[in-house]
Amino acid sequence: MNTEHHDADSRNIGTQMFKLAFSNIIDDADYSGKSGEFIKKDIMRIIKELTSRGDEELRMKFFNGSMDPNNPIPNDEAIRKYIKMVIENNGLGVSAEEIFNDGGVAACIASREVFENSVTSLVDSEVVDIEMPGGTAIQQSVFGFVGHGNNKVKSQTGAYKINYNDGEELIWDKEDGSMEVIMSINFFRSVLPSDIKKKPFTEQKQWLIDHDIIKGTKTSSERSNPTPYGMGYRIPTQGLSSMFAFTVADVMPPLVGDLIIVPREFTAQTGSDFDVDKLFLATYSYKNGEREIETKENKTKGALTNALLDHYINLITDVKNFANARASIDVLTDKLKTDFVNGVIRNQQRSYIPGFASLTPRF
């Protein structure tokens, strides 16, 4: 399915994903050298800092940096522009514009809830939501793109030579606990330096390989050593198995739109299919081609979200969470149908089932 790529380079990660990733942390357990207790406290510290940062941005935008309840200093021009935008985006019409232009307030019109909801959404987006680089990807089957088992997809010849991941199977469970994916290079727009973006796709791909961001052979003939590029989740996010950490095995040219190709086991893991299923991706923040790292001197938004993503990925990929993070959401259902219903109930019930049998504890 051809899909248009999105212009947005970021998205708000779901609160459901946070709740699930945060719900199975054991305080005295070790996760990549850090205790569960430390990880929980540090996740909340980062979220608090991001919340405060969003609060400050709203103060600067609408109140000239001040929101003293005793002496607020509203930025009339910023507020006026915001109200006008709400009117235009919600199609409230000329009459609503005239009311505000004549000094009226939201309570003067019947659709004043539009403004209340808009303000709530604005505060949520700045203060509550956590924005990270990433986007929405269309999930596509591996069929025809990679090999299966020991069989490889052979390289084609001519103008349309295609050979992703060297024709090999995508690894569902790497040693670091992540899974390999093939995705559109559109998801690297915020990573590639401006001068590299102007170059052909093959050179952009080689730059990603040379900087250990995706898998491949470097210009120096060495193999790259990429680490997880981010994590994804499916909506509805029904459990840890609806989320995953991924390492990029290869990239596709921008003309494919926002596609992602996942390992064949992924479909069973998440209970998804390919009727335009979407995966929501949160990726690391890069600056000048380098991943941002939080330090005492560097407290940028990108560095903070990267630290948060580090914790999430460590939790998702830890072997202690393997059963929850990789078991199919249909495992229990299949277990009941095959082992319990077929193996116990039906084997014992050899005669005609009497009326009201379905109401008995045995049934």
What do you get for the CA distance between the two ends of the chain, in Å? 45
Q: Does any domain span residue 297?
A: yes
pLDDT in tens, 291-334: 999 999 999 999 999 999 999 999 989 988 888 888 876 665 66
Residues 110 and 228 in one domain: no
Q: Which residues pair with 352 in a beta bridge?
A: none
Residues 252 and 185 in one domain: yes
Residues 104 and 174 in one domain: no
Residues 264 and 233 in one domain: yes
Q: Does any domain span residue 343?
A: no
Non-local (6+) Cβ contacts of 266 within 8 A are 172, 179, 244, 272
Whether the pLDDT of residue 343 is over 70: the answer is no
What amino acid is encoded at 202 in this protein? Answer: T
Residues 143 and 112 in one domain: no
Residues 188 and 273 in one domain: yes
User: How far is C-alpha 139 from the geometric centre of its chain's CA atoms?
Assistant: 13
Residues 183 and 227 in one domain: yes
pLDDT in tens, 238-252: 778 888 999 999 999
Dist CA 175 CA 197 (whole Å): 32
Residues 124 and 243 in one domain: no
Provide the number of structural domains found in the chain: 2
In which domain, by residue range, is 16 found?
Answer: 10-52+133-326
Residues 85 and 117 in one domain: yes
Phi, psi of 278 (to 5 degrees): -110, 140
pLDDT in tens, 30-58: 998 899 999 999 999 999 999 998 888 89
Parallel/antiparallel/unpaired status of strands 278-283 and 230-234: antiparallel
DSSP state of 124: I
pLDDT in tens, 57-115: 898 889 887 667 677 788 888 988 888 888 888 888 888 888 888 877 777 777 778 88
Residues 227 and 201 in one domain: yes
